[in-house]
Amino acid sequence: MATIIIDPVTRIEGHLKLELQVENGAVASARNTAALYRGFENIVLNRDPRDCAPILSAICGVCHSDHHIASVRAVENAAGMTQYTNSYANETTSLPVNAVLARNVILGADWTYSHAAHILALAGPDYHLYGLLDALSQSIVVNSYADLLRVVIIPAQALMHQIITLWGGKAPHQRGSIPGGNPVKPTADVIENTLSRIATFRTTLDIAAPVVWNYLTANASLLAGLGPGTGSFISMGGFQDPTSSSGTSNMPLTIPRGVILNPSTTPVPFDPTQIIEDTTFSWYNQPTPENVIGEQTPVPDKTNSAAYTWAKAPKYNGQFCESGPLAREYVSGVYPALGKVIHGIIPAVLGLPLNPMGSVFDRMVARAVELVALVGSNNTTKNLQVLGYDLNLSLVDVLNALGLPQSGLMASWLGAMDVGASSYNPSYQNPGNATGLGLWEAPRGSLLHWISIKNQKVANYQVVAPTTWNVCPNGPMEGSLVGTPVGSAGTDEDLRQVAYVIRSFDLCLACTVHAVDARGNDRYLKMR
């Protein structure tokens, strides 16, 4: 048996060490080490609850808006401004409709640039950029990976950050969303500026999305067999819809909240009391396992000889659950619905997910579907394929088949705003003693913020980030690597399939951990 250590794993957010035991040309076991400590929960103790969101958005430089708004939602829940109804399936809020929709737009922009960056810049080189350079070069001058970054990815990220700034005041780390709503009133000018940026992004996406889709589906027989997960999936729901007949009372979620627990493939209602975190193999001194609701704030401890990571191990009802675009699209039924459409055209495709346990193919395709759903499409060219067969469908056809707006979800939220009306409820006051829960889906998966307030100060705080679900000890990613072929030719191809599996989870270790010193020493930075 041979040992392969990849340290650090590149083209992910944050710092990950991967140790593989290889036998007979395949991974026999894997161990992920989240190399850095995250201590943000301790930083907010004894502070005003309103301080939490701007501090905790710094957990990550990519999904900053997600942490910010999840924290605001936890404080609003503690203050009684937002309640979870119908066994957490719906939400009721005293926030104005405009506030709910503005937050949806901010987070839609956050997801859009994050998904695009992963598919094209982070995972893209593993797939030789899907043959995308040739397709883009017909209308944009791109001849290399560097060109793709300079001409496509960075401008796309800028467009989405500009949208976040229009509604949140700045980006990254917007500050506009506060307990009580969003102080930016929707005006015709702000809405039009937002729509124009979405339209510019959509122009490039309409070229790139079919190329990426056709590449992935042409290689489905390989990719669907790589990286099987646990078969259990979790989604904490996102994008509340205040435009139904009930308004801001019992709002449905565009992305439903729920859990699939293996061996079942049917979603069940979400219950936060079923979440525990296990620190048996993590560098913390705390009782284990412990319910996240009420869990003690992190106490670092590297004396445990069995431990090998700063990541805790969250479980739902005792099971490791995969989190991310595939998980939420599986729970919501969107991904299986797409499978039914394709099966009706090409019977050889039995349905989606191609692998019910999850796979590289399913994770990548689910992420691409979300990207198109958010931005929409004007592409009516019937150029989509599956397994090399023509589907005779365009991107617009796919959106129509799934009941999604052709102009995209972000545009639909903008169109539902009450122009000139308030986005803020000024009645918020810090509760004296209360607890609150902020549930959200970030680009990489399920995000939970929990706060305990005593005497109007933060007494306890917990964050369970998306990557923590996936990269934890004995969790989904470690298991998904077992059986992955490893070559012995001494070339870049030896670990290509390992790379497919790792990056299919779109890891964000910055959310899971915080600071590092290669010698194991504490490091301090004095700001002058």
Domain range annotation of the chain: 40-262+322-468
Distance of alpha carbon 274 from alpha carbon 315, whole angstroms: 8
**Helix 97-116 × helix 360-375 angle, to 10°:** 130
pLDDT tens by residue, 442-459 = 999 999 999 999 999 999
Checking if the pLDDT of 414 tops 90, the result is yes
Helical (H) or strand (E) element with 445: strand 445-454
Distance of alpha carbon 37 from alpha carbon 492, whole angstroms: 31
**Helix 188-218 × helix 360-375 angle, to 10°:** 150
DSSP result, 78-116: HTTSEEEETTTTEEEESS-HHHHHHHHHHHHHHHHHHHH
pLDDT tens by residue, 101-150 = 999 999 999 999 999 999 999 999 999 999 999 888 887 888 889 999 99
One-letter amino acid for residue 465 of the chain = A
What per-residue confidence (pLDDT) applies to 424?
97
* Percent over 70 (pLDDT), the chain: 96
For domain 40-262+322-468, give the CATH superfamily: Cytochrome-c3 Hydrogenase, chain B (1.10.645.10)
Looking at per-residue confidence, does 64 or 274 come out higher?
274
Checking if the pLDDT of 469 tops 60, the result is yes
Identify the band that residue 24 occupies on the pLDDT scale cut at 50, 70 and 90.
Answer: very high
Checking if the pLDDT of 523 tops 70, the result is no
Which residue, among 111, 105, 114, has the nearest Cα to 167 in the 3D structure? Answer: 105
Query: What value does the mean pLDDT of the chain take?
Result: 93
Checking if the pLDDT of 516 tops 60, the result is no
pLDDT tens by residue, 300-354 = 999 999 999 999 999 999 999 999 999 999 999 999 999 999 999 999 998 999 9
Checking if the pLDDT of 515 tops 80, the result is no
What per-residue confidence (pLDDT) applies to 15?
86
> What is the number of other CB atoms lying within 10 angstroms of the CB of residue 51?
16
Checking if the pLDDT of 525 tops 50, the result is no
What per-residue confidence (pLDDT) applies to 138?
82
Please list, in sequence order, all residues whose beta carbon lies within 8 angstroms of the beta carbon of residue 491, skipping any fewer than 6 positions away.
Answer: none
Q: Report, as an integer, the average pLDDT of 367-375.
A: 98
Identify the band that residue 521 occupies on the pLDDT scale cut at 50, 70 and 90.
Answer: very low
What per-residue confidence (pLDDT) applies to 517?
35
What per-residue confidence (pLDDT) applies to 511?
52
Q: Which two tokens stand for residue 273?
A: 């009391």
pLDDT tens by residue, 487-510 = 999 888 999 999 999 999 999 886
